[in-house]
Amino acid sequence: MAEEKKLKLSNTVLPSESMKVVAESMGIAQIQEETCQLLTDEVSYRIKEIAQDALKFMHMGKRQKLTTSDIDYALKLKNVEPLYGFHAQEFIPFRFASGGGRELYFYEEKEVDLSDIINTPLPRVPLDVCLKAPKEQQKAEATEPLKSAKPGQEEDGPLKGKGQGATTADGKGKEKKAPPLLDGAPLRLKPRSIHELSVEQQLYYKEITEACVGSCEAKRAEALQSIATDPGLYQMLPRFSTFISEGVRVNVVQNNLALLIYLMRMVKALMDNPTLYLEKYVHELIPAVMTCIVSRQLCLRPDVDNHWALRDFAARLVAQICKHFSTTTNNIQSRITKTFTKSWVDEKTPWTTRYGSIAGLAELGHDVIKTLILPRLQQEGERIRSVLDGPVLSNIDRIGADHVQSLLLKHCAPVLAKLRPPPDNQDAYRAEFGSLGPLLCSHVVKARAQAALQAQQVNRTTLTITQPRPTLTLSQAPQPGPRTPGLLKVPGSIALPVQTLVSARAAAPPQPSPPPTKFIVMSSSSSAPSTQQVLSLSTSAPGSGSTTTSPVTTTVPSVQPIVKLVSTATTAPPSTAPSGPGSVQKYIVVSLPPTGEGKGGPTSHPSPVPPPASSPSPLSGSALCGGKQEPGDSPPPAPGTPKTNGSQPNSGSPQPAP
Amino acid sequence: MAALAEEQTEVAVKLEPEGPPTLLPPQAGDGAGEGSGGTTNNGPNGGGGNVAASSSTGGDGGTPKPTVAVSAAAPAGAAPVPAAAPDAGAPHDRQTLLAVLQFLRQSNLREAEEALRREARLLEEAVAGSGAPGEVDSAGAEVTSALLSRVTASAPGPAAPDPPGTGASGATVVSGSASGPAAPGKVGSVAVEDQPDVSAVLSAYNQQGDPTMYEEYYSGLKHFIECSLDCHRAELSQLFYPLFVHMYLELVYNQHENEAKSFFEKFHGDQECYYQDDLRVLSSLTKKEHMKGNETMLDFRTSKFVLRISRDSYQLLKRHLQEKQNNQIWNIVQEHLYIDIFDGMPRSKQQIDAMVGSLAGEAKREANKSKVFFGLLKEPEIEVPLDDEDEEGENEEGKPKKKKPKKDSIGSKSKKQDPNAPPQNRIPLPELKDSDKLDKIMNMKETTKRVRLGPDCLPSICFYTFLNAYQGLTAVDVTDDSSLIAGGFADSTVRVWSVTPKKLRSVKQASDLSLIDKESDDVLERIMDEKTASELKILYGHSGPVYGASFSPDRNYLLSSSEDGTVRLWSLQTFTCLVGYKGHNYPVWDTQFSPYGYYFVSGGHDRVARLWATDHYQPLRIFAGHLADVNCTRFHPNSNYVATGSADRTVRLWDVLNGNCVRIFTGHKGPIHSLTFSPNGRFLATGATDGRVLLWDIGHGLMVGELKGHTDTVCSLRFSRDGEILASGSMDNTVRLWDAIKAFEDLETDDFTTATGHINLPENSQELLLGTYMTKSTPVVHLHFTRRNLVLAAGAYSPQ
């Protein structure tokens, strides 16, 4: 202790020089040095005495600052007339002047013209004291957040840590429900102000945006869930939409695929929030989403990264936006359609953009496919053939063409199945659609079979995929914690919960025209066709390549859809696939390898909780694991557009169950 | 001012327990009789009986600014008298007595003088014989060995023969009247030109030591102590500070200014850091002339610094001083220190550090020996109607748990008498009115819905922020049912808010009231004037910052205390001031209603706490004994005791019945700013500027816990309704919650600890801390637990 209180308690006194100056100002010219000394001692002592008393008033006044009134009260204690006229809110600095060998400190006291004071308009009356209590209902408006001090708790160490967390959580929960029954504050609704965010909202916004683009998938899921369900986000909407559009702008330039996906998922979550109405912000959101569909390049390595999934996802978003917000006055849909068509028709459009345009159009619905895509199938088929069959120009083009082809097949087949009468003739198709004909034909056949099957099981009407399938993620958090149901939700508009998964042909050279093997994962609930499909796809052996993927029974606790994989081909020898029309259908239960970060498969495997996955093809997953080596936080593959590369014996991988 | 402060009766006034349900201000008659002068005296022989005179006091008597003025106008002066010490033994006793007598004579207070003389009959001849009161017996003349024997003998017995209290009180009366601000209005305050008696008091410093030797003496002792065995060193180190102070004061008094300065320079760094504030005062004190008015100096002089030292250590010291023939130091030890010697092991450094820090050292052991009835009074039995709708209400509110068994337990608890409780009629309490009963029923109903708190179930905190207060919020109180909040402000206003949807209405004008049908059922509704309904009522009346506010338990009244020296009673029916209680001449820092209403206590800069009844304009009791401002006052839940916290860094517990100080708690290192009793009445929690909260066992008079965590003054403390949680609010903008159950659970109150007062505090603040909650920039001025255990906190936002 001796060290810390080595502070100097020296008996400082005023310089006797001051006494002289004061004396002179009073008109006493000659004052003896001895007198000065006595005076300074006395004055210093009294000043200290008064200052010590004044401190008492400061403490009792519960302030941290000494004020002039404290001095006054201290003087009053001593029965001394208080000083008048020193009531200033601000600190009054001493000025310094020197000259003639003298040094002086003084206040600046300006002479004030009385008429000036009289003529100046009165200042505003200061606000009166008011009492404010947090209105817990609107927790965002609390002026005085009594936040548990996080650092302190951490200091508490492991001993307390656990209990602490629990208690604070308890406390919070109570805080919300307690006030109404407690004698607390009067509950008044505050007029809605859009542009002011309370500190809580700011914190929330910060947390959410950070979590959405951060690296922790569990946090992101939580954040997205919050965006999708929290009823109080209206005030933050402008910030979110700006955040997204700016984010897309920046990340497209930098080809940061992961972030683009995160941002699109935010859009999705915003769209899903029933309490938000985005119409005022679609002007900001649409360009961002469109960019993610048609941008020439979205990732650093277009040959390996699965930017197709992003395009699909964004395309579905656009379709959803159109559906919700398109009116005859704003013409959103027609404008979007025009944009897509224009870039598709253009000969020079790269395959990526082409893919995006088609996907965008295709998601807009059957009518759009019928009127805009089908007529161009022949032309497009030629273009694809020229790339696929022609001299190998660039691998990227080839992949692009490949994707476009499967995309077209996927989307057109159901439409054609509806449009055309049953007998499907390869030649007729070839005649009508050119080089894509045979493939189309087999897809249509499959589509019909699918439809028939559907009819047996469910009271279905159509086999086509009309619903937007918005969930892009296969994000399986490493821990099998409870997942947020929000991510699983598919809009209630789904008439038929059927998903067709087209496995791409293996791009291996020996199979120039690979067999169109098609897997259909169907799920349907017996109770209501429109219930969301919840598929739990877990994996058993993710790391060892797709071929080893063994079937694992999927558990779908909530809705209990039937999960099946329908393969047109007897899957064992993939090459036999072309004989599609007559092939036996097999139902298999598919197990999926986890996505990028879920490579630690075993952890996620036993999870009984449905991960927020929707029907990705088994191959896409396995492709990921087997060949692509995506970075940990890269987006999961899109459903429906599996990608395989050479090493993949494609359709053979999922072993069909008899 | 019966200023004799000590464990014995410092109260001026005797209470009549059997009397009507009011505490009469006792000596109405006596006071009138002798209140000839400004300083009214309850004659020592007056009706009160055990007035000041009986107080022997170990010397912390003088409050330099006692309430001389009270009396001036009042015919029945309640202010106590400069009392005479009964014991005439010591020479300087006589001297102080002389001083008092002389003062009385000067002030024309013949009767008081007479009374005093009578009281001190023993001294009469001496008084008559001795000439100038200023003459002093040089203490140094006494034989050392004789002194030694006195010191050793002085420990036991309540009537410790020490003197100075009386003298001090005399002196203080003078200084009070001389400097009292209200002088012009006073009849009796004779302007005293000079204060010979003060010099008499000071003259104890008149020792003729060689000033240049002081440093040598001190460093010699220092060397001796530092070289002593470890076990003794800690104990003997306690000597440093009081010796330092007194040696310095001697030097100053004898006008060896330069020596004094260099002595201070040299040794002030050795003192414990918690004496800093006092050292700062001392450092500015360099002239003899300054000593006269300096209160701190007077405190040192008039009260003996109490040290607890084991017999072994004491013998060691005694031997050393005798060997060295170091009379200078020995004289100081004799004159100014009170050494409380105990047998057994010397205490450890931690044990000592926990207890020291007050202005006058530790409390003497016997000061905390008297019995305290800390139990709760029996609750009157009220039948609680258990209607079904109430239960339904519970269900609606989502609290399906019916705590029937608990309800029963409440009933049974109140039936059997707590062995520690005072007799029901120990002090007269007001009778319950019908409205009070209704309120009690409400309270019980709420109790059944109370949340059981614990480490796993922390309360929610609702913070009421005062906006635009411009740093002017000085006091807050909340009614027991949490329906009203009052704020005292630096602009002299008191503002009352309703925090329920029910607005505040005042009663109609008299002319309108006469029109009301008095037979109607809703007459209570009808008398209210709807036009006056508002959420906020402002009460104007004070002329200085309002430092204390307290609602009466029935919510009909509000008390406020202010810098202007008054306590005001406001009606919450009419929102007007009913009474201004004048008694304190200096700022009144705090006031509080008794939990049963009717009585209230106030404490202020004049260093006394006063007990009042709302229907008496003069105090019923004056609790004098603190050596510095009384910062906060609280009633014990059973209303029989009052606790006061002071700037002298002690907490005292006073018996309302007889005005005795029954407990002195030392251990805080800074002025005490908050107090609270546990709901069961057994414990007391105190918070000070040092940021620590200390917990005390009232029954045993021991410190039982220390809660460290706050970084600034603890402004507010409150136990939860069932006493499971202690909440503390501080100037450091945090509310902290502590586990009170755990803090009090395994108390080692074995006989040994009780007997010796040696405490071992567990270092478990961090384990007891359940939560820290920060505000943005709002010091937490007030805390309150609602009947259902929600915490309400209040403070004014202070922009940085």
As given in the structure block, the two tokens for residue A216 are: 């922790």
Phi (first) and psi of residue B653, to 5 degrees:
-115, 130
Pairing of strands B484-489, B305-310: unpaired
Residue B771, chain A, CB below 8 Å: the answer is yes
Can you tell me the distance from the alpha carbon of A622 to that of B59, in angstroms, rounded to the nearest whole number? 92
Chosen from B602, B772, B789 to mutate, greatest number of chain A CBs within 10 A? B772
Hey, CA dihedral for B395, B401, B402, B406, is it positive or negative?
Answer: negative
Task: Give the residue carrying structure tokens 């999922």.
Answer: A654
What is the mean pLDDT of the segment spanning B546-571?
94
What's the CA gap between A263 and A252, in Å, rounded? 11
Nearest chain B CA: its distance from A209 CA (Å): 24
Mean pLDDT, chain A, rounded, equals: 65
Q: Indicate if the pLDDT at residue B267 is higher than 60.
A: yes
Is there a contact between A276 and A316 (Cβ–Cβ < 8 Å)? no
pLDDT at A442: 82
Nearest CA in chain A to B269: A6
Q: Give CA separation, B468 vs A132, B562, B797, in Å.
A: 10, 21, 8
Does A144 sit within 8 Å of B463, measured CB to CB? Answer: yes
The answer, for B629 touching chain A at a CB cutoff of 8 Å, is yes
Q: Give the mean pLDDT of A2-22.
A: 67
The pLDDT, as a whole number, for residue B160 is: 36
**Could you tell me which residue, A481 or B256, shows the higher pLDDT?**
B256
For residue B511, the distance in angstroms to the closest alpha carbon of chain A comes to 33
Distance from CA of A168 to the nearest CA of B (A): 8
The predicted pLDDT at position B381 comes to: 73
CA pair distance B253, B292, nearest whole angstrom: 10
Question: Cβ–Cβ of B767/A148 closer than 8 Å?
Answer: no
Judge whether residue B734 has pLDDT over 50.
Answer: yes
Instruction: Considering only residues B561 and B750, tell me which one the structure prediction assigns the higher pLDDT.
Output: B561
> CB A63 to CB B180 under 8 A?
no
Is A76 in Cβ contact with B465 (below 8 Å)?
A: no
Q: Which of B532, B795, B769 is CA-nearest to residue A133?
A: B795
Confidence at B198, pLDDT banded by 50, 70, 90 = low
Residue B785 clears pLDDT 60, i.e. is over it: yes
Please determine, for residue A246, whether its predicted confidence score (pLDDT) is greater than 70. Answer: yes
Decide which of B712 and A111 is more confident. Answer: B712
Query: Does position A586 have pLDDT exceeding 60, yes or no?
Result: no
Closest partner residue to A129 among B273, B495, B773, by Cβ? B495
What confidence tens digit (pLDDT) does each residue in A184-222 have?
444 444 444 446 678 888 888 888 888 888 888 888 888
Whole-number percent of chain B with pLDDT over 70: 68
Q: What part of B 525-544 touches A (C-beta under 8 Å)? A: 535-536, 544
What value does the mean pLDDT take over residues A591-609?
42
Highest mean pLDDT among A162-171, B433-442, B790-799: B790-799
Cβ-Cβ contacts under 8 Å, B793 against chain A: 146
Per-residue model confidence (pLDDT) at position A501? 39
B737 touches chain A (CB under 8 A): no
Token digits of residue B109? 């207070």
| Rounded CA separation B777/A435 (Å) | 74
As a whole number, mean pLDDT of residues B14-30 equals: 42
Edge-to-edge order in the sheet of strand B630-635: B630-635, B641-646, B650-655, B661-666
CA–CA gap between residue A583 and residue B458 (Å, rounded): 67
Residue B224, chain A, CB below 8 Å: the answer is: no
Distance from C-alpha of A407 to C-alpha of A416, rounded to nearest angstrom: 14
pLDDT tens-digit profile of A527-583? 444 434 444 444 344 444 444 334 444 444 444 444 444 444 444 444 444 444 444
Residue type at A472? L
Nearest neighbour of A56 by CB, restricted to B629, B776, B779: B629
Q: What's the confidence (pLDDT) of residue A89?
A: 60
Mean pLDDT along residues A576-596 = 43
Residues on chain B touching A79 (C-beta within 8 angstroms): 179-181, 183
Maximum average pLDDT range among A576-580, B156-160, B186-190: A576-580
B786 touches chain A (CB under 8 A): yes
Alpha carbons A23 and A30: distance in angstroms, whole number: 8
Q: Which residue of A has its CA nearest to B279?
A: A9
Q: Is B457 on the interface with A (CB under 8 A)?
A: yes
Confidence label for A87 from pLDDT (cuts 50, 70 and 90): low
Mean of the per-residue pLDDT values for chain B? Answer: 74
- Residue B413: predicted pLDDT: 46
Name which of A11, A167, A186 is nearest B261 (Cβ-Cβ).
A11
Contact A143 B279 (CB under 8 A): no
CA atoms within 13 A on the CB side of A484: 22
Query: Across the strands, what pairs with B630?
Result: B646
CB < 8 Å to A133, chain B: 462-465, 499
Shortest CA gap B180–chain A (Å): 7
At B176 the pLDDT is: 34
* B contacts of A126 (beta carbons < 8 Å): 468, 470
Alpha-carbon gap, residue A353 to A350, rounded angstroms: 6
For A162, the closest chain B residue by CA position comes to B456
pTM of the shown model: 0.56
Does position A594 have pLDDT exceeding 50, yes or no?
A: no
pLDDT surpassing 60 at residue A42: yes
Are B500 and A183 within 8 A, CB to CB?
Answer: yes
Looking at per-residue confidence, does B332 or B156 come out higher?
B332
Which of A490 and B292 is assigned the larger pLDDT?
Answer: B292
Closest Cα in chain B, distance from residue A98 (Å): 30
Which residues on chain B are in Cβ contact (under 8 Å) with A58?
Answer: none
- pLDDT value at residue A392: 67
Q: What is the DSSP letter of A242?
A: H
Contact B547 A56 (CB under 8 A): no
Q: What's the whole-number mean pLDDT along residues B574-597?
A: 92
CA pair distance A359, B336, nearest whole angstrom: 98
- Are A144 and B461 inside 8 Å of each other by CB? no
Mean pLDDT across A647-657 = 41
Q: A143 contacts in B (CB within 8 Å)?
A: 465, 467, 776, 797
A129 with B261: Cβ contact below 8 A: no
Q: Which residue of B has its CA nearest to A4?
A: B273
pLDDT of residue A411: 84
Residues of chain B contacting A136 with CB distance shorter than 8 Å: 462
pLDDT at B166 over 60: no
Convert the pLDDT of each residue in B27-47 to its tens digit. 433 433 333 333 333 333 333
Instruction: Please tell me which residue of chain A has the smallest CA distance to B710.
Output: A152
Q: How confident is the model at residue B485 (pLDDT cuts 50, 70, 90)?
A: very high
Compute CA A85 distance to the chain's CA centroid, rounded to the nearest angstrom: 59
pLDDT confidence of residue B730: 93
Q: What's the pLDDT score for residue A503?
A: 39
Q: Please report residues of A whose CB lies closer than 8 A to that of B500.
A: 183, 186
> Please, are residues B267 and B275 in contact by the beta-carbon 8 Å criterion?
no
The predicted-structure confidence for B613-626, as pLDDT tens digits, reads as follows: 999 999 999 999 99
Binary contact (B467, A129; C-beta < 8 A): yes
Percentage above 90 pLDDT, chain B: 27
Best probe of the A interface among B284, B630, B775, by most A CBs < 10 A, is B284
Q: What is the pLDDT of residue B538?
A: 93
Among the residues of A458-561, which ranges form H helices? none
Residue B503 in this model has a pLDDT that exceeds 50: yes
| Proportion of chain A in helix, strand, coil states, percent, rounded to 5 | 50, 5, 45
Please indicate whether, in this complex, the C-beta atoms of B481 and A175 are within 8 angstroms of each other.
no
Binary contact (B468, A128; C-beta < 8 A): yes
> CB B474 to CB A62 under 8 A?
yes
Mean per-residue pLDDT, B742-755: 68
Q: Which of A60, A159, A167 sits opposite B458 (nearest CB)?
A: A167
Q: Over the stretch A101-156, which tens digit does the pLDDT of each residue have?
A: 777 777 777 787 888 888 888 888 878 888 887 654 333 333 333 444 333 333 33
Joined tokens for residue A218: 């569990």
Q: What are the backbone dihedrals phi and psi of residue B42, each rounded to the nearest 5 degrees, phi first?
A: -85, 110
Q: Which of A450-459, A575-584, B734-743, B764-773 has the lowest mean pLDDT?
A: A575-584
Of the listed ranges A222-236, A412-426, B213-227, B713-727, the least confidently predicted one is: A412-426
Residue B466 and residue A131: Cβ atoms within 8 Å?
A: yes
Q: How many Å apart are CA B127 and CA B108, to the nearest integer?
A: 18
> pLDDT by residue (tens digit) across A461-493?
444 444 444 444 444 444 444 444 433 333 444
Query: From A183, which residue of chain B is nearest by alpha-carbon distance?
Result: B500
Q: Is A184 in contact with B462 (Cβ distance < 8 A)?
A: yes
| More confident site: B316 or B43 | B316
The per-residue pLDDT for B121 is 59
Contact: A146, B268; criterion CB under 8 Å: no
- Residue the block writes with tokens 């614990």: B454
Work out how many CB contacts closer than 8 A connect A with B: 211
Nearest beta carbon to residue B464 from set A131, A160, A181: A131
C-alpha B476/C-alpha B783 separation (Å) is 9
The pLDDT value given to residue B559:
95
Identity of the residue in A4, A130, A163 whose CB atom sits nearest the CB atom of B273: A4
Distances (CA, A) of B57 to A516, B7, B242, B364, B720: 108, 7, 19, 11, 38
Higher pLDDT, B800 or B128: B800
Kindly identify which residue of chain A lies nearest to residue B465, measuring between CA atoms: A132
pLDDT given at position A162: 33
Residue B133: its pLDDT value, please?
A: 39
Amino acid at B75: P
Please judge whether A144 and B671 are an interchain contact, meaning their C-beta atoms are less than 8 angstroms apart: no
**Strand ranges for B143-192 from DSSP E:** none
| Partner-chain contact B462 A167, CB within 8 Å | no
Phi and psi (nearest 5°) for B611? Answer: -105, 130
Mean pLDDT score, A87-102: 71
pLDDT digits (tens, 9 = 90+) for B655-695: 999 999 999 999 999 999 999 999 999 999 999 998 999 99
Share of chain A above pLDDT 90, in %: 1
Query: Domains in chain B, ordered, with CATH?
Result: 210-368 (1.25.40.500), 461-747+764-795 (2.130.10.10)
